[in-house]
Amino acid sequence: MTDIRNLVILTGAGISAESGVATFRGPGGLWEGHRVERICTPQALADDPALVHRFYDARRAALATVEPNIAHHALARLDAAWPGDLLVVTQNVDNLHERAGSGRLLHMHGELRSALCAICEHRTPHDGDLPPGAACPACGAHALRPDIVFFGEMPYQMDRIEAALATADLFVSIGTSGAVYPAAGFVQRATHYGAATLELNLEHSAGSGLFDETRLGPASTLVPEWIN
Ligand code: BV8
């Protein structure tokens, strides 16, 4: 990576798979028989808040049973040592990147360990179950919801992501199926801005043809190999 100065690294569920966090669209990609596209919507939250809250309560509780893996730790070491710009943009809502030590990190689809007020949009760190109708500590409204970007909602910090892509020399995508936009379109944005693009994934993804290079294998092997 000699003439590379600015890095943008996109991660998806695949980077957490070897930590034991279920992915969404592989075998076993259901939760209580529900697909994420069906649960992760404002309509589902309105129709059945208990189901949606239970979905995220279960995943939040599971964080205590998993640890960052080799790939998370490799990215954290890169972050600490990298002299140029570096931004990890994760689609994941787990906290494994930060527990591994990544600092330059952005959760574009939200975080399990945060609650969002549907009225005043105040964010509150939250552990444990989040019952529907919990009171917002800022405005008092009984309107706390999981701090998750649902389908049809705008992902977080898109301006910051676009600015990072605009100055990236290398865009690396790790462990994502390329099934969900706008994240799946970042490789095209990076290419438009003149960055080189690399995909590290267990299998070919929907976007594999868009990358300069695709390497297939588990993240715990590919990420350290790429960095070293
Ligand atoms: C929006 C919440 C607009 C958190 C999620 C075009 C442009 C823009 C939007 C759209 C568009 N076309 C369609 C849309 C709408 C929609 C969309 O993309 N739909 C899809 C289904 C077609 N997008 C949206 O609605 C987005 N919002 O566009 O808003 C807007 C504009 C103005 C104003 C308002 C709004 C919002 C999308 C976010 C939805 N939230 N989740 C959560 O519950 O977790 S999406 C969900 O999918 C997760 O966040 C997840 O991160 C994401 C992507 O999945 P992956 O991470 O890729 O996981 P997956 O299981 O699919 O794949 C895992 C991969 O890892 C596999 O390839 C596998 O091979 C690999 N793997 C497995 N093991 C390993 C491995 N790799 C390496 N090592 C291993 N060991």
Measured on CA atoms in the order 118, 178, 76, 82, is the torsion positive or negative? negative
- Cα separation, 211 vs 197, in Å, equals 5
Q: What average pLDDT score do residues 91-95 get? A: 97
Q: Specify the ligand 1 atom closest to the Cα of 13.
A: 56
Look at residue 51 in the predicted model and tell me its pLDDT: 93
Q: Is 192 a catalytic residue?
A: no
**Ligand 1 close to Cβ of residue 37 (< 6 A):** yes
* CATH code (residue 103): 3.40.50.1220
* CATH code (residue 128): 3.30.1600.10
Asked whether the bond before 182 is cis by omega within 30 degrees of 0, the reply is yes
Same domain for 29 and 58, yes or no, is yes
Task: Check 53, 109, 126, 192 and give the catalytic one.
Answer: 109
Tens digit of each residue's pLDDT (9 = 90 or more) over 128-170: 999 999 999 999 999 999 999 999 999 999 999 999 999 999 9
Same domain for 91 and 127, yes or no, is no
**Ligand 1 close to Cβ of residue 42 (< 6 A):** no
Look at residue 1 in the predicted model and tell me its pLDDT: 56
Look at residue 194 in the predicted model and tell me its pLDDT: 97
Same domain for 74 and 17, yes or no, is yes
Give the number of other CB atoms < 10 A from CB of residue 213. 11
Q: What average pLDDT score do residues 13-17 get? A: 96
Same domain for 75 and 185, yes or no, is yes
**Ligand 1 close to Cβ of residue 77 (< 6 A):** no
Same domain for 89 and 160, yes or no, is yes
Same domain for 127 and 193, yes or no, is no
**Ligand 1 close to Cβ of residue 35 (< 6 A):** no
Same domain for 28 and 135, yes or no, is yes
Q: What average pLDDT score do residues 114-129 get? A: 97
Compute the mean pLDDT over every residue in the chain, rounded to the nearest whole number.
95
Query: In this structure, which residue's CA is closest to atom 64 in ligand 1?
Result: 176
Q: Looking at the chain, how many residues does it have?
A: 228
- Cα separation, 211 vs 195, in Å, equals 10
Same domain for 34 and 11, yes or no, is no
Q: Specify the ligand 1 atom closest to the Cα of 152.
A: 25
Please determine, for residue 123, whether its predicted confidence score (pLDDT) is greater than 70: yes
Domain that holds residue 94: 1-21+68-109+155-228
Same domain for 72 and 61, yes or no, is no
Residue with tokens 């390497």, as numbered in its chain: 215
Look at residue 27 in the predicted model and tell me its pLDDT: 67
Domain boundary among 126, 148, 170: 148
Tens digit of each residue's pLDDT (9 = 90 or more) over 26-77: 666 666 677 888 899 999 999 999 999 999 999 999 999 999 999 999 999 9
Tens digit of each residue's pLDDT (9 = 90 or more) over 198-211: 999 999 999 999 99
- In the chain, the percentage of residues whose pLDDT exceeds 90 is 90
Same domain for 143 and 220, yes or no, is no
| Count of domains for the chain | 2
Same domain for 36 and 73, yes or no, is no
Same domain for 6 and 36, yes or no, is no
Q: Specify the ligand 1 atom closest to the Cα of 90.
A: 51
How many Å lie between the centroid of ligand 1 and the Cα of residue 120?
26
How many Å lie between the centroid of ligand 1 and the Cα of residue 180?
3
